[in-house]
A = this chain, B = another copy of it.
């Protein structure tokens, strides 16, 4: 369990940033393939993938999108955030083992509606931008504080 407190709408400042570091493992790619149903060999079959323009396996783009939504939901603004819209541009391939860092920055606030816009950028271990985008979220007026279970424990719970 990790106790996390959100940034309330009035506390959110233009230019405020947050970062989430998270690797893309081979296991992540397999789990995403099983979950989404996208079992294309470009993601799963190294021999096949070597023969493509990517010259090796790549992660699903939307798996990288999940790093962004997790950064929004757990870091900035954090718990209680309501996801309204997201744009994603897939700039470079992400490969198994890549160590990604997701960077968020508050770029606009709509005081009347409690909406915020955040610029999103995901970078790999070589400092290359792999995904960019923009998120629009609704932010609670009062901070939300919750316990976030350890990700592995959530799967374990299912198996009981």
Contact = CB atoms under 8 A, between A and B. Distances in A.
Interface of A: 20, 22, 26-28, 30-42, 44, 48, 60-63, 65-70, 73-74, 79-80, 83-90, 146-152, 154-155, 157-158
A30 to B, nearest CB: 5
Per DSSP, chain A at the interface is helix
A42 B72 CA distance: 14
Count of identical protomers in the assembly: 2
A158 B37 contact: no
A90 B79 contact: no
A40 B151 contact: no
A79 B38 CA distance: 10
20 contacts: A30-B157, A31-B155, A34-B152, A34-B154, A35-B63, A35-B66, A36-B66, A38-B70, A39-B148, A39-B154, A40-B79, A40-B148, A61-B83, A62-B62, A62-B65, A62-B68, A62-B69, A84-B89, A85-B87, A88-B88
